[in-house]
Structure 1
Amino acid sequence: MAQTPQQRRANEKYARQEAAKRGKPETVVKKQKKEKAPISATWVLVLAFVVCGGLIFELLRLFF
């Protein structure tokens, strides 16, 4: 089956990237990935509200 122009461009781009890596140490070639938290900031805030919010509401109920 013949390649489509889109496949051909993608293959050429990949070949250029691989050719640029040749002869370089692996540490230079590998891109450093940014560490990502396992849980998003939104969920951290939701959990903090549930835990601390319940405590605050309970304290308000006791004093007022």
Structure 2
Amino acid sequence: MAQTPQQRAANAKFARREEAKMGKPVSTTKRATDQKAPISKGWIVVLAFVLCGGLIFELLRLFF
């Protein structure tokens, strides 16, 4: 059975949508330029100290 123009348009629309889901080849994608971290380095240090500082102090207390 032959496709009607409406079916052909719907199939083309579906094909474009599915192709967009698959992504693009590496050569056609643009490289990201200098992405900025969502959190500053200072806050990362504070967070690391909060998470690991207690363990460090506890180990120091046990050995000294």
TM-score by length of 2: 0.42
TM-score where L is the length of structure 1: 0.42
Higher relative contact order (CA 8 A, sep 6+): 1
